Amino acid sequence: MAEKKTTSDERLAKLVLALRSQGVTDPAVLSAIEKTPRELFVPELFQERSFEDSALPIACGQTISQPFIVGLMTQALTIEPRARILEIGTGSGYQTAVLSRLARLVYTVERYRTLLGEAETRFKALQLTNVITKFGDGGEGWAEQAPFDRILVTAAAPSEPKKLLAQLKPSGVLVAPIGKGPVQKLIRYAGDGRGGFVSETLCEVRFVPLLDGVAKEL
């Protein structure tokens, strides 16, 4: 008898169960992940691995994050429906798409023009009308649109991202990997309402570094 082939829906359900067992328990976050077709953001070569809980390579030497990390970082933001979010590092656009299902507006900055163009095509295909994109230096943030309710950084800053924290509302939240080595700490900064921040280390992570300027592509 031929082995029954697992469907995409079954593999997605299995992934969501795995995320829940690892601590991503916010129903809204899990729902957003369920509604975002990860296979659309993964290169054709890795299509069969779309539902794995692992990071995968994309163009320009970058990666699409592990679903658990996407879920954990999104959950740590504690997003409210009317929130305006700044994302640093659009990449494939997968994390952006998840955020767009939870917030009113998502502003996302990418230093690779190729990646940004591909992500914009995916946003259009998914009819995500609340995503605003920018080609630029993510470390500088998006001062013209500040302050933001939430900021998510998807590349490792070498130290506390003061320029980005300055673009956060007093009661806002910023989540970012911090550190110079191959392993960084995922840190959540929560505004205390008085201009200061309370930081909390969530776990160890591996992200590409947050680089200055925009990328020079061939």
Active site (catalytic) residues: 65
Could you give the dihedral angle defined by the CA atoms of residues 69, 145, 132 and 71, in that order, rounded to the nearest 10 degrees? 10
Residue 93 in contact with residue 118, Cβ under 8 Å? Answer: yes
Residue 204, strand partner residues: 185
- Structure tokens belonging to residue 69: 């990390």
Residue 193 in contact with residue 114, Cβ under 8 Å? Answer: no
Residue with structure tokens 């506390």? 160
Residue 155 in contact with residue 177, Cβ under 8 Å? Answer: yes
Residue 156 in contact with residue 184, Cβ under 8 Å? Answer: yes
Q: Which residues, 6 or more positions from 207, have their beta carbon under 8 angstroms from its beta carbon?
A: 65, 154, 155, 156, 177, 184
165, containing H or E segment:
helix 162-165
Nearest to 154 by CA among 95, 80, 114: 95
